[in-house]
Amino acid sequence: MGSDNPLTAPGVHSAAELTARLVAISKVLPAGDGLAYFNQMYEWVTEAVDTHLASTREVFADPAWMGQLDATFGNLYLDAVRATSTNGQNLPRAWSALFERRGDTRLAPLQLALAGMNAHINRDLPVAIVSTCVQLGTSPESGSHHLDFFRVNAVLAEVEPTIRQLVEGMALDRVFPGLQDLVANFNMVKARETAWANALTLWLVHSVDPSREANYVDALDRLTGFAGRGLLTRLSP
């Protein structure tokens, strides 16, 4: 498999490249693949945020930082896709919950999509925030980073209900009793707020004792993986 395969291609360098890669991945994943549900949800969320910001003429105070964050964040997902498409090594526990169950037809599409969101936001986002700050020589609390980050939250609060309905519509031929109860506690906006708090803690660890940074990420990875398996509890259609 070469770089033309979107599942194994190298990372991206911009938000526009990320969106294009998500579209390409959607085209090659088979229908019913649990990863396809998450990838589609990620694509819809990204497009919805971009469209909203463009239509309202809102701009980030520090677009360079946000652009780098988008690419760094997206690449952590692409790293997971690449790992499971090749030898499966270095796959975070947070992602293994979804990748191990991606072919289970007894799971609702929304469960699989949210399991991916759980891994990507709760594990990947704090790591991406800190990595972006290191790359650009800044810190999470510097300048407008906090304001820009939470500007996305305001958009997500508006579009998340619609996105959930679109994902649920992928299984119109099946009814999953108890689905709403199972996924009711997962909210993208709240998850991003928690991710920001975890990023501040990870940044403190990075600043004080970098040797312990991996331990913190590992603990976060384990906890996120545990939550992901909870989201993937089988329901009877």
d(CA 113, CA 164): 9
Backbone angles phi, psi at 210, to 5 degrees: -55, -25
Render pLDDT for 164-198 as a digit per residue (tens, 0 to 9). Answer: 777 777 765 565 666 666 666 788 899 999 999 99
> What is the structure's pLDDT at 74?
96
- Two tokens, residue 209: 């004792």
Backbone angles phi, psi at 194, to 5 degrees: -65, -40
Residue 235: band (very low, low, confident or very high) from pLDDT cuts 50, 70, 90: confident
Q: Domain map of the chain by residue range?
A: 15-231
> What is the structure's pLDDT at 157?
86
User: Residues of 213-222 as b/e, b for ≥16 C-beta within 10 angstroms?
Assistant: beebbeebbe
> What is the structure's pLDDT at 181?
62
Q: What's the gap between Cα 54 and its chain centre?
A: 22
> What is the structure's pLDDT at 103?
92
Rounded to the nearest 10 degrees, the angle between the axes of helix 109-118 and helix 213-231 is 170
Residue 195, C-beta contacts closer than 8 angstroms, at least 6 positions apart: 121, 122, 125, 126, 129
Cβ atoms of residues 122 and 226 within 8 Å: no
Q: What is the DSSP letter of 120?
A: I
| Cα separations in angstroms, 9 against 17, 60, 81, 234 | 12, 29, 10, 33
Render pLDDT for 133-158 as a digit per residue (tens, 0 to 9). Answer: 999 999 999 999 999 999 898 888 88
Mean pLDDT of the chain: 88
- Two tokens, residue 72: 């760094």
Give percent above pLDDT 90 in the chain. 60
In this predicted structure, the answer to whether residue 1 has a pLDDT above a threshold of 50 is no
- Two tokens, residue 10: 């190298």
Residue 226: band (very low, low, confident or very high) from pLDDT cuts 50, 70, 90: very high
> What is the structure's pLDDT at 161?
83
Q: What is the DSSP letter of 124?
A: I
Residue 39: band (very low, low, confident or very high) from pLDDT cuts 50, 70, 90: very high
Q: What's the gap between Cα 200 and its chain centre?
A: 18
> What is the structure's pLDDT at 160?
83
> What is the structure's pLDDT at 122?
97
